[in-house]
Chains A and B, each alone.
Chain A
Amino acid sequence: MKVRVLLFASLRERAGCESDELTMRPGATLSDALGVLLSRHPKLGLLNSSVRFAVNREFVDALKPLADGDEIALIPPVSGG
Protein backbone atom coordinates (compact mmCIF):
# COMPACT_ATOMS: atom_id res chain seq x y z
CA MET A 1 0.00 0.00 0.00
CA LYS A 2 1.05 3.57 -0.55
CA VAL A 3 0.92 6.38 1.98
CA ARG A 4 1.82 10.03 1.61
CA VAL A 5 3.88 11.91 4.21
CA LEU A 6 3.75 15.69 4.62
CA LEU A 7 6.59 17.63 6.23
CA PHE A 8 6.31 21.16 7.58
CA ALA A 9 8.45 23.99 8.87
CA SER A 10 11.84 22.94 10.31
CA LEU A 11 11.28 19.29 9.31
CA ARG A 12 10.51 20.30 5.72
CA GLU A 13 13.68 22.37 5.61
CA ARG A 14 15.79 19.61 7.14
CA ALA A 15 14.51 16.98 4.70
CA GLY A 16 14.70 19.36 1.76
CA CYS A 17 11.22 18.36 0.55
CA GLU A 18 7.63 18.92 1.60
CA SER A 19 6.24 15.45 0.95
CA ASP A 20 7.15 11.89 0.10
CA GLU A 21 5.28 8.76 -0.91
CA LEU A 22 6.12 5.49 0.85
CA THR A 23 5.24 1.94 -0.10
CA MET A 24 4.39 -0.09 3.00
CA ARG A 25 3.43 -3.70 3.73
CA PRO A 26 -0.24 -4.28 4.58
CA GLY A 27 -0.66 -4.06 8.35
CA ALA A 28 2.10 -1.48 8.75
CA THR A 29 1.76 1.10 11.51
CA LEU A 30 2.64 4.76 11.58
CA SER A 31 5.77 3.81 13.50
CA ASP A 32 6.86 1.54 10.62
CA ALA A 33 6.29 4.36 8.13
CA LEU A 34 8.34 6.76 10.26
CA GLY A 35 11.20 4.27 10.22
CA VAL A 36 11.11 4.13 6.42
CA LEU A 37 10.83 7.91 6.20
CA LEU A 38 13.86 8.49 8.43
CA SER A 39 15.95 6.02 6.45
CA ARG A 40 15.01 7.76 3.18
CA HIS A 41 15.70 11.22 4.64
CA PRO A 42 18.69 10.87 6.97
CA LYS A 43 18.91 14.64 7.23
CA LEU A 44 15.73 14.54 9.32
CA GLY A 45 17.86 13.03 12.08
CA LEU A 46 16.03 11.68 15.12
CA LEU A 47 12.56 13.03 15.67
CA ASN A 48 12.31 15.05 18.84
CA SER A 49 9.61 13.81 21.25
CA SER A 50 7.83 17.16 20.77
CA VAL A 51 6.90 16.18 17.18
CA ARG A 52 3.26 15.06 16.92
CA PHE A 53 1.68 12.99 14.16
CA ALA A 54 -1.57 13.20 12.23
CA VAL A 55 -3.16 10.66 9.93
CA ASN A 56 -5.85 12.02 7.64
CA ARG A 57 -5.86 15.29 9.62
CA GLU A 58 -6.40 13.71 13.06
CA PHE A 59 -3.74 13.62 15.79
CA VAL A 60 -2.77 9.97 16.41
CA ASP A 61 -0.04 8.04 18.22
CA ALA A 62 2.67 6.03 16.49
CA LEU A 63 0.86 2.70 16.96
CA LYS A 64 -1.87 3.78 14.54
CA PRO A 65 -2.37 1.13 11.82
CA LEU A 66 -2.19 2.59 8.33
CA ALA A 67 -4.41 2.04 5.30
CA ASP A 68 -3.73 2.51 1.61
CA GLY A 69 -3.93 6.18 0.63
CA ASP A 70 -3.45 7.56 4.15
CA GLU A 71 -2.06 11.05 4.48
CA ILE A 72 0.48 11.27 7.31
CA ALA A 73 1.66 14.63 8.64
CA LEU A 74 4.60 15.26 10.93
CA ILE A 75 3.66 18.17 13.15
CA PRO A 76 6.60 19.91 14.85
CA PRO A 77 5.70 22.21 17.79
CA VAL A 78 3.06 24.60 16.48
CA SER A 79 3.34 28.38 16.72
CA GLY A 80 0.28 29.90 15.07
CA GLY A 81 -1.31 33.14 16.15
Chain B
Amino acid sequence: MRFLITPDALDPDAAVQAVAHENAGAVVTFEGRVRRQSRSREVVRLEYEAYAPMAVELFERIDAETQRRWKTSLAIHHRMGSCAVGVVSVVIVAAAAHRAEAFDACRFAIEQLKADAPIWKKEIYTDGEFWVGQGS
Protein backbone atom coordinates (compact mmCIF):
# COMPACT_ATOMS: atom_id res chain seq x y z
CA MET B 1 0.00 0.00 0.00
CA ARG B 2 1.59 3.32 -1.06
CA PHE B 3 -0.69 5.74 0.80
CA LEU B 4 -1.86 4.78 4.24
CA ILE B 5 -3.37 6.34 7.36
CA THR B 6 -3.61 3.77 10.10
CA PRO B 7 -4.05 3.35 13.86
CA ASP B 8 -1.58 0.44 13.70
CA ALA B 9 2.22 0.51 14.05
CA LEU B 10 3.97 1.66 10.86
CA ASP B 11 6.28 -0.70 8.99
CA PRO B 12 8.97 1.29 7.11
CA ASP B 13 10.03 -1.87 5.21
CA ALA B 14 6.50 -2.27 3.87
CA ALA B 15 6.61 1.34 2.62
CA VAL B 16 9.93 0.65 0.87
CA GLN B 17 8.54 -2.52 -0.72
CA ALA B 18 5.56 -0.54 -2.00
CA VAL B 19 7.75 1.67 -4.22
CA ALA B 20 11.05 -0.15 -4.81
CA HIS B 21 11.49 -1.35 -8.38
CA GLU B 22 14.26 -2.54 -10.70
CA ASN B 23 15.08 0.91 -12.06
CA ALA B 24 15.05 2.63 -8.68
CA GLY B 25 18.75 2.89 -7.92
CA ALA B 26 18.04 5.26 -5.02
CA VAL B 27 15.48 4.77 -2.27
CA VAL B 28 15.36 7.47 0.45
CA THR B 29 13.30 6.92 3.62
CA PHE B 30 12.26 9.63 6.08
CA GLU B 31 10.95 8.50 9.46
CA GLY B 32 9.31 10.98 11.81
CA ARG B 33 9.40 9.83 15.43
CA VAL B 34 7.79 11.09 18.60
CA ARG B 35 10.27 13.27 20.49
CA ARG B 36 10.55 13.37 24.28
CA GLN B 37 11.14 17.12 24.55
CA SER B 38 8.85 19.74 23.00
CA ARG B 39 8.33 23.39 23.88
CA SER B 40 10.65 22.79 26.87
CA ARG B 41 8.17 20.30 28.26
CA GLU B 42 8.30 16.56 28.64
CA VAL B 43 6.01 14.73 26.22
CA VAL B 44 4.32 11.55 27.43
CA ARG B 45 2.65 10.75 24.12
CA LEU B 46 1.08 12.30 21.02
CA GLU B 47 -2.48 11.83 19.84
CA TYR B 48 -2.99 12.11 16.09
CA GLU B 49 -6.26 12.80 14.33
CA ALA B 50 -6.91 13.17 10.59
CA TYR B 51 -9.48 13.93 7.97
CA ALA B 52 -8.29 10.71 6.39
CA PRO B 53 -10.00 10.75 2.95
CA MET B 54 -8.72 14.29 2.25
CA ALA B 55 -5.27 13.50 3.63
CA VAL B 56 -4.91 10.47 1.35
CA GLU B 57 -5.99 12.56 -1.65
CA LEU B 58 -3.32 15.09 -0.70
CA PHE B 59 -0.69 12.30 -0.48
CA GLU B 60 -1.67 11.25 -4.02
CA ARG B 61 -1.29 14.83 -5.22
CA ILE B 62 2.13 15.18 -3.62
CA ASP B 63 3.12 11.95 -5.36
CA ALA B 64 1.88 13.26 -8.72
CA GLU B 65 3.90 16.45 -8.24
CA THR B 66 7.13 14.66 -7.29
CA GLN B 67 6.63 12.28 -10.21
CA ARG B 68 6.36 15.27 -12.53
CA ARG B 69 9.36 17.12 -11.07
CA TRP B 70 11.78 14.30 -10.21
CA LYS B 71 10.37 11.12 -11.80
CA THR B 72 10.03 9.55 -8.36
CA SER B 73 7.52 7.22 -6.84
CA LEU B 74 6.42 7.88 -3.24
CA ALA B 75 4.99 5.92 -0.35
CA ILE B 76 3.48 7.95 2.49
CA HIS B 77 2.30 6.22 5.66
CA HIS B 78 0.98 8.15 8.68
CA ARG B 79 -0.03 6.94 12.13
CA MET B 80 -3.29 7.90 13.85
CA GLY B 81 -4.22 7.71 17.50
CA SER B 82 -1.95 7.46 20.48
CA CYS B 83 1.84 7.33 19.94
CA ALA B 84 4.36 6.98 22.77
CA VAL B 85 7.80 8.60 22.70
CA GLY B 86 10.05 6.93 20.11
CA VAL B 87 7.18 5.60 18.00
CA VAL B 88 7.37 6.16 14.23
CA SER B 89 4.53 8.52 13.37
CA VAL B 90 5.22 9.06 9.67
CA VAL B 91 7.19 7.27 6.95
CA ILE B 92 7.94 8.74 3.53
CA VAL B 93 9.82 6.74 0.92
CA ALA B 94 10.98 8.21 -2.38
CA ALA B 95 12.29 5.87 -5.06
CA ALA B 96 14.11 7.25 -8.09
CA ALA B 97 16.77 6.29 -10.59
CA HIS B 98 19.37 8.42 -8.80
CA ARG B 99 19.97 9.80 -5.30
CA ALA B 100 19.59 13.54 -5.96
CA GLU B 101 16.01 13.13 -7.18
CA ALA B 102 15.11 10.74 -4.36
CA PHE B 103 16.44 13.09 -1.65
CA ASP B 104 14.76 16.15 -3.17
CA ALA B 105 11.41 14.40 -3.59
CA CYS B 106 11.46 12.98 -0.05
CA ARG B 107 12.20 16.42 1.46
CA PHE B 108 9.53 18.07 -0.71
CA ALA B 109 6.96 15.45 0.32
CA ILE B 110 7.42 15.85 4.09
CA GLU B 111 7.33 19.66 3.80
CA GLN B 112 4.10 19.51 1.75
CA LEU B 113 2.56 17.04 4.18
CA LYS B 114 3.37 19.31 7.12
CA ALA B 115 1.99 22.38 5.34
CA ASP B 116 -1.30 21.03 4.00
CA ALA B 117 -2.28 17.51 5.08
CA PRO B 118 -5.37 17.66 7.33
CA ILE B 119 -3.67 15.85 10.21
CA TRP B 120 -3.38 17.16 13.77
CA LYS B 121 -1.35 16.21 16.79
CA LYS B 122 -1.99 16.87 20.42
CA GLU B 123 1.00 16.75 22.74
CA ILE B 124 0.20 15.14 26.08
CA TYR B 125 2.50 16.15 28.95
CA THR B 126 2.68 14.93 32.51
CA ASP B 127 0.81 18.11 33.50
CA GLY B 128 -1.32 19.16 30.53
CA GLU B 129 -1.90 18.95 26.79
CA PHE B 130 -1.58 21.15 23.70
CA TRP B 131 -2.92 21.00 20.13
CA VAL B 132 0.20 21.88 18.17
CA GLY B 133 -0.28 25.13 16.25
CA GLN B 134 -3.79 25.78 17.54
CA GLY B 135 -3.08 27.69 20.72
CA SER B 136 -5.25 25.50 22.95
In the complex, how many angstroms separate the beta carbon of A50 from the nearest chain B beta carbon?
A: 8
Contact A9 B53 (CB under 8 A): no
Residues of B within 8 A of A78 (CB): 114-120, 133
Q: B75 at interface (Cβ–Cβ under 8 A)?
A: no
A side interface size, CB within 8 A: 20
Which B112-134 residues have C-beta < 8 A from chain A?
A: 113-122, 131-134
In the complex, how many angstroms separate the beta carbon of B80 from the nearest chain A beta carbon?
A: 10
- Scoring B residues 27 to 62 as 1 if CB is less than 8 Å from chain A, else 0, what string do you get? 000001000000000000000111101110100000
Contact A80 B122 (CB under 8 A): no
Q: How far is the CA of A57 from the CA of B79 in the complex (A)?
A: 20
Residues of A within 8 A of B110 (CB): 81
Q: Which residue of A lies closest to B57 (CB)?
A: A57
Instruction: Provide the main secondary structure of the chain B interface.
Output: mixed
CB contact under 8 A between A8 and B49, given known A75-B118, A79-B121, A80-B113: yes
Q: How far is the CA of A70 from the CA of B81 in the complex (A)?
A: 27
Q: B90 at interface (Cβ–Cβ under 8 A)?
A: yes
Q: How far is the CA of A59 from the CA of B58 in the complex (A)?
A: 11
Which A1-24 residues have C-beta < 8 A from chain B?
A: 6, 8-10, 12-14
Residues of B within 8 A of A13 (CB): 136
Q: How far is the CA of A13 from the CA of B129 in the complex (A)?
A: 13
- Scoring A residues 8 to 47 as 1 if CB is less than 8 Å from chain B, else 0, what string do you get? 1110111000000000000000000000000000000000
> B residues near A, CB below 8 A?
32, 48-51, 53-55, 57, 78, 89-90, 110, 113-122, 131-136
